[in-house]
């Protein structure tokens, strides 16, 4: 499993926490893959951005002109209908993650873990456009967080 992390923002200082954050991201990605029965022989790119960059990406790719917490960009299937080892890209607004961690009363690291799980399930084909789909996706996210012992008020 290859995970590439790119910090493209300078608003939230994470230098002292980067090893812990990278460790959490690796654990979450691996657990999401296990949950779905996928091989861990994949590549995932994770980019940290600020609210302005994620707003621009949201506007460009989803026609929504506002910041969001996380975006997922799954790789397209190849001509044989198989996924390449590159699973896709995850883009997390660290500004938004920090705001939400304070709003929900848990750690910044826990919020990044949750956003990573949420985005991974998008990369694996899940969505939350209907209440039924949302319920399925939330249960999967909860299962990963519980397995990793990452709880809401941490």
Q: What is the pLDDT of residue 77?
A: 59
Q: Contact, 88 vs 44, CB < 8 A? A: yes
pTM score, whole prediction: 0.91
Q: Locate 127 and state its tokens.
A: 């969505």
Q: Is 106 annotated as a binding residue?
A: no
Q: What is the pLDDT of residue 40?
A: 85
Q: What is the pLDDT of residue 39?
A: 85
Q: Contact, 121 vs 139, CB < 8 A? A: no
Q: What is the pLDDT of residue 45?
A: 96
Report the DSSP beta bridge partners of residue 92.
Answer: 48, 70
Domain range annotation of the chain: 2-147
pLDDT in tens, the chain (154 residues): 899 999 999 999 998 999 999 999 999 999 999 999 988 889 999 999 999 999 999 999 999 999 999 999 998 655 555 555 788 999 999 999 999 999 999 999 999 999 999 999 999 999 998 999 999 999 999 999 999 999 765 5
- The arrangement of secondary structure in 2-147, i.e. its CATH architecture, is 3-Layer(aba) Sandwich (3.40)
Cα 109 from chain centre: 12
């Amino acid at each position: 499993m290859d995970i590439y992390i790119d910090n493209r923002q300078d608003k939230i200082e994470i230098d002292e926490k980067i090893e812990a954050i990278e460790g959490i991201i690796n654990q979450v990605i691996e657990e999401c893959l296990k949950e779905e029965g996928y091989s861990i022989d994949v590549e995932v790119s994770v980019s940290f951005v600020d609210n302005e960059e994620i707003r621009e990406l949201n506007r460009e790719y989803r026609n929504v002109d506002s910041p969001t917490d996380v975006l997922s960009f799954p790789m397209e299937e190849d001509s044989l209908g198989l996924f390449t080892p590159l699973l896709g890209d995850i883009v997390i607004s660290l500004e938004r993650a920090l705001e939400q961690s304070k709003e929900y009363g848990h750690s910044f690291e826990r919020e990044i873990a949750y956003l990573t799980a949420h985005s991974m399930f998008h990369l694996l084909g899940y969505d939350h456009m209907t209440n039924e789909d949302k319920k399925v996706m939330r249960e999967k996210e909860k299962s990963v967080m519980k397995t990793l012992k990452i709880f809401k008020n941490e």
